[in-house]
Chains A and B, each alone.
Chain A
Amino acid sequence: MANFFPRWANWIPLKLLLIVMVLGAVVTGGIWYYFTPKYTNVGYMPAQPAPFSHAIHAEQLGMDCRYCHSHVEVAGHSNVPSTQTCMSCHSQIKAQSPKLAAVRASWETGTPVQWVRIHKAPDYVYFNHAVHVNRGISCHSCHGQINEMPVVYQAQPLSMAWCLECHREPEKFLRPPSEIYNLNWRPASAQEQLAMGAQYKKEWNVNPPVTCGGCHR
């Protein structure tokens, strides 16, 4: 009787094994690459009802973040400004601009401008702005170079691993209290940052929570 299976059939199990292994690697890699806030959240840049630009207001005009986000250092929640904040200037500056139609409509009717929210911690996480910005953490560490963004996008994943990266080693991020709202400030060098950070950490007794109850309360 002739060979029932041709000779190459001997390789089938090996080839199948190789295929399964490659597919396994691709699926694992795909999940590692895609199933994380680094992919799902970073770069989220929704269109806003009015094309508000931080590059114009914060950088070109030199406005302080707190002119608009006025409760960031006293409240857990960093507020998005009221319509009156915009109208202080825009009742005269570019008062007829079509780009500001949504703001004017809100001013006339009293209904808020529906800004699309970008950064969002899940509802089971406790986050507080005031404790961070009053303890030497700048907006820059968590929101990126906002003052150069014509349109705001999410620059950091805001995942749990990301929070913990800083909570374990806050000295990498602590900066002088006068530079919290200056997003263009940079430490002279990495070593200097570590030395300065370690000093602040000791002086101010900075002790961010790394136990579950700190953030899941």
Chain B
Amino acid sequence: MLRYFFIGLGLFLVGLFAVAGFRGQKSGKPPIEIFPDMDHQPKVKAQVPSSFFSDNRGNRLPVAGTVPIGYEAPRSKDNPFPDEGKYNGVRFTAGTDYLNTGRFGDQWGTGIPLPVTAELMQRGKERYQIFCAVCHGASGGGNGVAGQYGLVAIASYHQDRLREMADGEIYNTIVHGKNTMLGYGDRIPLNDRWAIVAYIRALQLAQTATINDVPAGERAKLEALPQP
């Protein structure tokens, strides 16, 4: 009797492992919920669909024609956005001043409207390396890794047109993109955009800088680095 029991048990365990598998095994099947309790509550969380709405979007788009409090609707006649109409008008400028649009009236302005400190430059460098370096390259030569995989005509910052370009126009390129470059306004908040502009200016200066532009106290540090 015992023998049959253990043979049966052994077969059962082999079968169990064959069907149920082991811990950590890769599987495309949705996780089993042993006690679902209140795991799924009928509330809307970020980026979760909701069957309450007919299009199943949990995150609602603003109703056409509405403007969030504190924002201004884009001006219709001289709208600076190249992609107007694409989002059915659902896109807002947070104000119409230089800080928000990079322009005075209908002219590009120049100058960084935030205090340019070491922290701002550091921030600009970090943000530049996250968002821009894949295409524009770490030093802004337009030779980022995406170029090696078939992204064509990435602009280099080291050409006269971009050296002379107004800060406001570069700001606008970050927010709304330009030609084949799509905008980053949805991912880079206002202060970071200006920090990136400041850092791009530093990259441009660095191309033509000489050792005499380095403060005397810092020169030894630079000279200690291995020469290329």
Residues of A within 8 A of B (CB): 15, 18-19, 22-23, 26, 30, 33-35, 37-47, 61-64, 66-67, 70-71, 75-77, 79-80, 82, 84-85, 87-89, 91-94, 111-112, 117, 122-124, 153
Contact = CB atoms under 8 A, between A and B. Distances in A.
Contacts, number: 109
Contacts of A66: 130
B24 A42 contact: yes
B202 interface: no
B211 to A, nearest CB: 28
B25 interface: yes
Given A42-B24, A117-B48, A153-B26, 10 more contacts: A19-B5, A30-B16, A42-B23, A45-B26, A46-B28, A67-B130, A70-B187, A70-B188, A84-B182, A111-B55
Contact of B145 (A22, A37, A42, A61): A61
A44 B39 contact: no
Contacts of B181: 88
B22 to A, nearest CB: 8
Interface in B18-66: 20, 22-34, 37-41, 43, 45-48, 55, 57
Nearest to B87: A110
Contacts of A77: 45-47
Contact of A33 (B23, B41, B43): B23
Contact of B26 (A22, A33, A43, A111): A43
Interface of A is mostly: loop
Interface residues of B, number: 50
A157 B37 CA distance: 18
Given A15-B2, A66-B130, A89-B151, A40 B31 contact: yes
Contacts of A93: 146, 149-151
A77 B149 CA distance: 32
Nearest to A68: B187
21 contacts: A22-B5, A22-B9, A30-B16, A40-B32, A40-B34, A43-B24, A45-B27, A46-B28, A63-B134, A64-B130, A77-B45, A85-B187, A89-B135, A89-B146, A93-B146, A93-B151, A117-B48, A122-B38, A123-B41, A124-B38, A124-B39
A47 B13 CA distance: 30
B45 A123 contact: yes
Contacts of B37: 122, 124
Contacts of A39: 22-24
Contact of A124 (B29, B41, B129, B135): B41
Pick the 6 closest A-B CB pairs, nearest first: A77-B46, A122-B39, A70-B187, A123-B41, A64-B130, A45-B26
A35 B34 contact: yes
A26 B11 CA distance: 13
A19 B8 CA distance: 12
Nearest to A123: B41
A55 B209 CA distance: 38
B216 interface: no
A45 B26 CA distance: 6
A38 B150 contact: no
A43 B29 CA distance: 10
B39 A92 contact: no
Contact of B9 (A26, A35, A61, A79): A26
